[in-house]
Amino acid sequence: MSIAILFTNKEAESWRQYIQDKHPGTRVEIYPDISDPASVEYVICWKPEAGAIAEYPNLKVIQSAGAGVDHIDHVPHGVTLCRIVDHKLSHDMYEFVLMVMLADMKNMNIYRDEQRQRVWQPRPYRSIDGTRVGILGIGQIGSYVGQHLAQLGFSVSGWSRSAKMLDGITCYHGERGMHEMMGQVDYLINLLPLTDETRDILNKKNLSSLPRGAYLINVGRGPSHVDADLIELLDSGHLSGVFLDVFRQEPLPEDHPFWHQAGLHMAPHVASVSDIDAVMETIMHNYDHRDQQSQLRYVIDTNKGY
């Protein structure tokens, strides 16, 4: 039996070595150098090349190396798709969005620019107490982020597909619930998975429900925001700022208008990255149970798409 690692834009050799050390008797190889595709029963993927997954006729489990599975475009019939759920992944996301919000609340993005121009211009700032945060997607990561922000003193609300009750978070669901929540937040954080329903959800019509001057943070997936609408809402002042960690096309093309857009800050999809040490137990568990569907962890419901 063997394991294949199918990574694009992600370093694979350290994962290969780590798994090989844990399973000396199993062949662990990196795509495209797979010596015997018929022996592969388990693949670990991050943005696999189109069609690559179809090369393994005896595949049993596709393991996403991250929380999202939208980067996997093909799940052969009878194969189970699993993802990562991990405390460190949630905690790192919490640290990241907190950093983004505090930088805006305390005007650090402006002061950084003004320092270069030798401008001394004190400005009013926001405090955590009284700042309202809305989170689209209060699953494993969104609920963790929301509850930790609430513990700091932020006023937190969250939106999901199904109705929920979570300590510290005022919960909304359904289309009307989304607009109701958006109408009363200063910071909107997107932590939705990418599905047919969440594609383009951060569009002009929906974001117009936010109060004027709200700030948008997208750390979910790029195709959830409509590029031209974000530019228009920033230019009109409806959004006071936008932070993007994810993009419709990654890496962001060099000629994309976002690079020079006033009020927009960005990072190269690094808000929270699966840590090998933290996720290896789940990966090896799922490899060891590839023949026992009911024992697999964090299985994707292919009807829901997440």
CA distance 188 to 78: 38
Return the number of the residue (58 or 249) whose C-beta is nearest ligand NDP.
249
Out of 5, 192, 230, 244, name the contact with ligand NDP by CB under 6 A: 192
Cβ atoms 70, 52 nearer than 8 A: no
Out of 273, 276, 278, 284, name the contact with ligand OXD by CB under 6 A: 273
Report if residue 134 touches ligand NDP, rule: CB under 6 A: no
- When computed from its CA atoms, the radius of gyration of the chain, rounded to whole angstroms, is 21
Q: Which one of ligand OXD, ligand NDP, none interacts with residue 192, CB within 5 to 8 A by kind?
A: ligand NDP
Q: Which one of ligand NDP, ligand OXD, none interacts with residue 256, CB within 5 to 8 A by kind?
A: none
10 Å CB burial of residue 99 (0-12, 13-18, 19+) is: middle
Write down the catalytic residue from 83, 221, 225, 290.
221
Q: Does residue 176 have an active-site annotation?
A: no
The alpha carbon of residue 221 and the mean position of all alpha carbons in its chain are separated, in whole angstroms, by 6
Query: Of 284, 270, 169, 266, which Cα lies nearest the Cα of 216?
Result: 266
Cβ atoms 52, 31 nearer than 8 A: yes
Q: Which one of ligand NDP, ligand OXD, none interacts with residue 47, CB within 5 to 8 A by kind?
A: none
Return the number of the residue (68 or 134) whose C-beta is nearest ligand OXD.
68
- Of the ranges 10-18, 62-70, 195-203, 249-257, which one interacts with ligand OXD (CB under 6 A)? 62-70
The alpha carbon of residue 145 and the mean position of all alpha carbons in its chain are separated, in whole angstroms, by 12
Q: Mention every residue, 6+ apart, whose C-beta is less than 8 A from residue 291.
A: 60
Q: Which one of ligand NDP, ligand OXD, none interacts with residue 197, CB within 5 to 8 A by kind?
A: ligand NDP
Out of 155, 198, 274, 286, name the contact with ligand OXD by CB under 6 A: 274
CA distance 171 to 134: 10
Amino acid at 136: L
Residues 2-61 that bind ligand NDP (CB under 6 A): none
Q: Which two tokens stand for residue 98?
A: 């907190």
- Of the ranges 50-58, 117-125, 181-189, 192-200, which one interacts with ligand NDP (CB under 6 A)? 192-200
CA distance 292 to 80: 10
Q: Does residue 285 have an active-site annotation?
A: no
Cβ atoms 258, 244 nearer than 8 A: yes
- Of the ranges 38-46, 108-116, 215-223, 276-284, which one interacts with ligand NDP (CB under 6 A)? 215-223
CA distance 150 to 128: 10
Return the number of the residue (160 or 274) whose C-beta is nearest ligand OXD.
274
DSSP one-letter code for 239: E
Q: List interacting residues with ligand NDP (CB under 6 A).
A: 66-68, 85, 89, 93, 137-142, 159-162, 191-195, 197-198, 219-221, 245-246, 269, 271-272, 306
Q: List interacting residues with ligand OXD (CB under 6 A).
A: 66-68, 273-274
> Which of the residues are catalytic?
221, 269
